[in-house]
Copies of this chain bind each other. A is one copy, B any other.
Amino acid sequence: MNKNLDSLTEYPFYFLRELLSTVENNPEETLGLHIGEPKNIPPKEALNLLNKHSDLYSKYPTSKGEYFLRESYCNWLKSRFGIKSIDSDKNVLPISGSREGIFSFIQATIDTSKKNPTVIIPNPFYKIYEGAATMADASTYYVNSLEENNFKPNFKDIPENVLKDCQLLILCSPSNPTGYCIDKDEYLYLLNLAERYDFLVCSDECYTDIYESSHASPPGLLESCDITENNSKAVVFHSLSKRSNLAGLRSGFITANESIINDLLLYRTYHGVTLSLPTQMASSWAWDDSSHVEKNRRDYDKKYEIAISALQDVPKIMRPPGGFYIWLKVPSDDQLFAKRLYEESNVIVLPGSYLAIENERVNPGKGFVRIAIVHEAEIIEQALTAVNQTYTKV
């Protein structure tokens, strides 16, 4: 087998299972807030379209996707990010969710004929980035996102030798797990760096539609560049999993300049991952419609309101700028906290140290737990009240 498999590490949930394995709880009463899976229901209209067109499951879909779907991507990008120019024939491609899209993009991109190909990754991070770099034979360089900087990844201090070897710099905004949102100036700074050192900025924006209703929407990388320019360094990933509560549909898309999209289309023709025609129809609707997304945001407003007020003994607790997590600093070791919470209340949260690695003598996830604020009101109230209790005791 491919030797790089030996370097792939297990997923955070594997370590979580190990941590909690000695505790005997009633699994039917467990409240699991460790997984970032939306619990709001998917829009009926999208499901109806899947059903209505189910005869099309007989047909092979193409890697490029249908025109109507690519048009929906572009119309949404224009209205969401205010961009003027984008070509549905040249700048977008469907992917089967951001995990698949990012993993395969990194395989198709890393050039091992160059010296020490390097991927720069914020820390803490979504595990896929690391595993994809490993499988693509690339080195990784981590950039810590620390509380003292409001969880802004410290991109300013990347050494020049790393920038010279860098082929991809990965962003996640709103960040999983911290909720930090990158601003336009930062995007511009990174795109300039990418020009100077000739690497791509790969922006995972799958949480971009989850933010407080009364606030401005988080900026996207596309607002700081012109993706129709052939030397554009931006590559952006979007998904319906969070926006439309369609995590199981596995539907998203990638945006990049024409030359990258051409290369990816060739790669993906062999890679063989496509969206069925019914999925394309439902997805097109979900990118076109904004009312279900606004309703979704109002639901998250309520969820966070309940969560924040349940955490009454946590000083300065605030909803983060984007995403649907609370990245909670706990007054003890994060693994101990998660285990004690599970023992005392049968509530599961994810230790932050599982989402980060030790880098510059610190694991920036250590001392934090990630709590998904996705369930219905009663569960959030019960679970976060339990979190608050454990918080006051440790």
Contacts and interface: CB of A to CB of B under 8 A. Distances in A.
A359 to B, nearest CB: 20
A8 B96 contact: no
A42 B60 contact: no
A3 B41 contact: no
A96 B99 CA distance: 15
A47 interface: yes
**By CB atoms of chain B within 10 A, which of A54, A266, A274 has the most?**
A54
Contacts of A46: 57
Contact of A270 (B8, B54, B108): B8
A100 interface: yes
A75 interface: no
B267 A250 contact: no
Interface in A88-113: 96-97, 99-100, 102-104, 107-113
Given A3-B112, A266-B5, A273-B100, A57 B61 contact: no
A318 interface: no
Given A2-B111, A5-B263, A38 B58 contact: yes
A191 to B, nearest CB: 19
A248 B60 contact: yes
Interface in A34-84: 35, 37-42, 46-47, 50-51, 54-61
B41 A47 contact: no
B57 A249 contact: yes
Contacts of A39: 58
A388 interface: no
B2 A270 contact: no
Contacts of A113: 3
A297 B317 CA distance: 65
A276 interface: yes
B58 A267 contact: no
A247 B58 contact: yes
Nearest to A277: B248
A154 B298 CA distance: 66
Given A1-B109, A5-B108, A51-B51, A56 B248 contact: yes
A90 B61 CA distance: 31
A53 B313 CA distance: 42
A1 B263 contact: yes
A119 to B, nearest CB: 13
Interface of A: 1-3, 5, 8, 10-11, 35, 37-42, 46-47, 50-51, 54-61, 96-97, 99-100, 102-104, 107-113, 127-128, 131-132, 135-136, 241, 245-250, 260, 263, 266-267, 269-274, 276-278
